[in-house]
Chain A
Amino acid sequence: MSDETGKSKTKTSRRRFLGAGLALGGAAIAGRAHASEGEAAILEKKDWNQYLGDGVDARPYGHPSEFEKSVVRRNVAWLTADPVSSVNFTPLHDLDGIITPNGLCFERHHAGIAEVDPAEHRLMINGLVDKQIVFTMADIMRFPRENRVYFLECAANSGMEWRGAQLNGCQFTHGMIHNVMYTGVPLKLLLEEAGVKTNAKWIMPEGADASAMTRSVPLAKAMEDCLVAFKMNGEALRPEQGYPLRLVVPGWEGNMWVKWLRRLEVGDEPWHHREETSKYTDLLENGKARRFTWEMDAKSVITNPSPQAPLLHKKGQTVITGIAWSGRGTIDRVDVSVDGGRNWMPARIDGPSLDKSMHRFYLDFDWDGSPLLLQSRAVDSTGYVQPTKNQLRAERGTNSIYHNNGIQTWHVKANGEVENVEVS
């Protein structure tokens, strides 16, 4: 059957259906099953039971079902002055497993999405190297590659919650994170190709967008596990994630993962640029500010139920699920509390437990229908225990914006609605 006939057949059957629908409308209503006989979902024929669907030529790049239309990134307009230098959030409450689909990975950019032509993209390495070097994308594709799954979390994730519960939804409180598999070249191989001089201690990645994003990264980290990635979840990076090339800095704050990567300077001192002085420094209560706070501490959050995903089924068996991650390794355990952190039950981690990657946990729970104060607490492979928000506030005050990895509480009410709360 050719594509053409396939298409016209589908069309004809649809037209026939529409006509028949008009004529038989009354009959269909008359024939509607009584509730006592069973459910309409079973007793009545659906369009998709009878009529042909789209052919293989209809969706050359597939997209989710129209019934999943609400599963999208969302932004909070008043957080920033302009959507071009702003952020939107991953809909964590709609996802499961550990991999974030490419189109749902939260976006944070400082000068809009650069639309870069890969043929005109270059990566330069300059500074303290034996040979200042320029690579085309084709050159980069000829280096040995690696595949690694890593989470990327913005250091400002949950930053709105320092002073108390603010935003009602884990998409907004925790959605500046995604977890994808990167394909790329170890940064070490590119640096070695240029020949790093012995007095070098730092590198400075720079983006090709109109913010020309820069950060200082210790050379040791660059040589240890950074990647220069060109694929995410098997396909080319999305433009909003830095197409055609981005830096991957495993376990460290998202701002360092420079997108549209066009240059790496090698130096002997850090640069102290805007994103590591004015921003991404953690102001403490005593007026001092921590700088170079790169690692993302262990953190977890229950994604279901949560304010955007209430417990609609009332009491009985329910799946409590969430995600946990640590910039210092893997997650050893996640515990869940239903009484605001007084007593804890070990959750079940399911799916791959990978270094510096999201972990998925479940607690299969028989809800008695009474209100819950739901919390999750992660412990990572270094023994670090996710702290309460009040423990963090006691150490740092409430002005540090970044690195809020405190335990989140959701109040599940008797009617199944869920609210973001703080507890004693």
Chain B
Amino acid sequence: MSKFLKSAFVALSMLAVATPAMAGKFDLGREATAAEVAAWDIDIRPDGQGLPEGKGTVAQGEEIYAEKCASCHGDFGEGIDRWPVLAGGQDSLKSERPVKTIGSYWPYLSTVFDYVNRAMPFGEAQSLEPDEVYAITAYLLNLNDVVDSDFELSKQNFVKTRLPNEANFIADARPDTPVVAKGTEPCMKDCKPDAVKITGTARVLDVTPDEAKKQTGSLD
């Protein structure tokens, strides 16, 4: 629809306030009810858009976490077996084995609230009440040394509560390796000065040994 037509439509619909939202070009689908949108529209943004009313303390969060989360993520967010680690790893991002957690890596607190609320506990998603999610989020902040143990997180102080690694996210800089002018042949002859040598071989030959578990990083 052209901008002109669109503004003409807006003007028309403002004249006739009582008429339902106008139909699209194909007149397919129906208008969603407010209750339907509310049932599915659970996403939270860094600016706080989408946050429900509610609050919860670190202490309340610790209790819920122990009951519903610790069996996989560990009492202190250290992660049991290969379940995700949720706390620690500060100052590890430049090391050979970075530990990426809410405290060491995640840029925004809203992501914690949103993700726990939509996808956890694993296998029983979307079963938590808003106050429970606030409390668990407060506890995860405390496990990551972002807040003290007497902290209460609420809709009101949420956006003010920031994670330490926020400033370290940058824009995509690719392509960051050479590009040739269209139609140009890349190097075809003597592209390396010396005969090529093997510098390493596959560590995991049959793809499933236990030893590999210790040697390799995780998928993502």
Contact = CB atoms under 8 A, between A and B. Distances in A.
Interface string B136-147: 000000000000
B160 interface: no
A86 B72 CA distance: 16
Interface stretch (A29-37, A233-241, A373-381): A373-381
A263 B31 contact: no
Interface stretch (B35-43, B53-61, B149-157): B35-43
A131 B220 contact: no
Interface in A364-405: 373, 377, 379, 381-385, 387, 391-392, 395-396, 399, 401-403
B169 A385 contact: no
Interface stretch (A12-20, A64-72, A75-83, A310-318): A75-83
Given A156-B220, A204-B43, A131 B31 contact: yes
A339 B203 CA distance: 22
A372 B178 CA distance: 26
A163 B217 contact: yes
Given A124-B40, A297-B175, A134 B202 contact: no
A182 interface: no
A191 to B, nearest CB: 9
A394 B112 CA distance: 33
A237 B18 CA distance: 41
A402 B172 CA distance: 12
Contacts of A307: 202
B17 interface: no
B111 A272 contact: yes
A194 interface: yes
A219 interface: no
Contact of A395 (B29, B45, B177): B177
B115 A422 contact: no
Interface stretch (A1-9, A51-59, A287-295, A355-363): A287-295
B15 interface: no
Contact of B45 (A271, A339, A391, A419): A271
A206 to B, nearest CB: 7
A265 B187 CA distance: 47
B201 A78 contact: no
B188 A343 contact: yes
B205 interface: yes
A341 B196 contact: yes
Contacts of A127: 41
B219 A80 contact: yes
B28 A385 contact: no
A295 B122 contact: no
Contacts of B9: 130
A160 B208 contact: no
Contact of A131 (B24, B174, B189): B24
Interface string B75-98: 000000111100000000110101
A143 to B, nearest CB: 6
B184 A383 contact: yes
B34 to A, nearest CB: 9
Nearest to A328: B175
Interface stretch (A95-103, A222-230, A243-251, A273-281): A273-281
Interface stretch (A40-48, A145-153, A165-173): A165-173
15 contacts: A78-B208, A78-B212, A81-B83, A143-B28, A165-B201, A167-B202, A195-B24, A198-B6, A210-B119, A269-B47, A271-B114, A272-B108, A290-B172, A391-B178, A424-B197
Query: Which 7 A-B pairs give the minimum distances between C-beta atoms?
Result: A340-B196, A193-B24, A131-B21, A387-B177, A81-B82, A420-B202, A422-B200
Interface of A: 76-82, 84-87, 110-111, 124, 126-127, 130-136, 139, 142-143, 156, 159-160, 162-169, 172, 189, 192-195, 198, 204, 206, 210-212, 214, 262-263, 265, 267, 269, 271-274, 277-281, 283, 285-295, 297, 307, 332, 335, 339-344, 373, 377, 379, 381-385, 387, 391-392, 395-396, 399, 401-403, 411, 419-424
Given A78-B213, A135-B29, A164-B203, 18 more contacts: A78-B82, A132-B32, A134-B32, A160-B216, A165-B202, A193-B26, A195-B21, A198-B3, A265-B43, A272-B46, A273-B111, A278-B100, A293-B172, A379-B186, A385-B180, A392-B177, A423-B198, A424-B196
